Structure 1
Amino acid sequence: MLPLLVAAAVLVGVAGYGWMRYSAQAPAPVSVRPIMLGSMPVGGAAPAANPHAADFDQIAAMTDKLVAKLKERPQDAEGWAMLARTYGVLERYPEAVVAFEKAIALRGDDNVLRADYAQARALAGLPPDSRGAAVAIPVTKPLMAASIGQTVSGTVVLAPALMKQANPEDVVFVFARPSEGSRMPLALLRKQVKDLPIVFTLDDSMAMSPASTLSQAGRVVVGARISKSGSAMPEKGDLAGQSAPVVVGTKGLKIQISDVVMQ
Structure 2
Amino acid sequence: MVNALFLSLAGLLAAVATGTALWPLLRAGKRSLWGSLVATMVAATLGLYLWLGTPMALQPAAAGAPQTLEQAVEQLQAALDERPGRTDGWVLLARSQLELGRTAEAAAAFERAVQLEPDEPELLLEAAQARARAHPQMHFDDTALQWLQHARTLAPDSERAAWLIGIVQRQRGQPADAARTWEALLPRLEAGAATALREQIAAARADAGLPPMAGATPPPTADAARTLTVQVTLAPALQARVVAGKDTLFVLARIPGGPPMPVAVQRHPATPAPLTVTLGDGDSPMPTQKLSALDQVEVVARLSASGTAMRQAGDVESVPVTVALPAGKPLHITLGQP
Structure with a larger share of its residues in helix: 2
Structure with a larger share of its residues in strand: 1
Instruction: Output the TM-score relative to the length of structure 2.
Output: 0.33
Instruction: Output the TM-score relative to the length of structure 1.
Output: 0.41
- Highest RCO, 1 vs 2 (Cα 8 Å, sep ≥ 6): 1
